[in-house]
Structure 1
């Protein structure tokens, strides 16, 4: 079963996947996305990455990147500390982790 649904320029992903990468509750994720404190970007692969998609989610201190195939199956999910532009202090250094 696909973990990401892609249709008509719309993307749907199970909140549990993203929330786990952010280390927060799925309800908190949904609230923070409504508030705009977690934002996202969608990209479609080109060239050797054709057929893949990448979803990137940003909070004030963490970035989550999910890569999936054209069927919506998650190939990779990683999360790293992130300093949102315009903020003054950053998080402690941490290695990327697969979630």
Structure 2
């Protein structure tokens, strides 16, 4: 299954640590994508105000992973390879409106 809506032509120099299917993403990367301060990220993750999940690519996307971080208003997606190299990055921002619940769960487009 491909990841719809993701452009795969851009490579960003973000250091993401990969360990199997576990990834460590710098707070600055998450903060930038969700329009937060880096120091807000960890408490918001702990308080479940930021949800996150990892999806493994299949078929032609085998060996890639989609890392998703979402608040009630924004979603950040980072596609990485098995070594943690960023393939693409995208954000969805609903401004003053809440992100639909369907956009805050695994498999959402």
TM-score band by shorter chain is: 0.7 to 0.9
CA distance change for structure 1 residues 77 and 2 in 2, over 3 Å: closer, same or farther? Answer: closer
TM-score, normalising length: structure 2 = 0.70
> How many residues end up aligned between the 2 structures?
86
Aligned residue for 1:76? 88
**In 2 relative to 1, CA 72–16 (structure 1 residues): closer, same or farther, beyond 3 Å?**
same
Spell out structure 1 runs of 4+ moving beyond 6 A: none
In structure 2, the gaps of 5 or more residues are 1-12, 103-109
Give the C-alpha shift of residue 69 in structure 1: 1.2
Q: Where in structure 1 are there 5+ consecutive unaligned residues?
A: 87-99
Contact kept, 8 Å, 1:68 with 1:76, in 2: the verdict is yes
2:27 aligned to which of 15, 21, 27: 15
TM-score, length basis structure 1: 0.76
Q: Which has more strand, going by share of residues?
A: 1
Asked whether 1:26 is paired with 2:38, we answer yes
Higher relative contact order (CA 8 A, sep 6+): 2
* Mapped pair 1:65 → 2:81: no
**Stretch deviating more after TM superposition (73-82 or 50-59):** 73-82
1:44 partnered with 2:56: yes
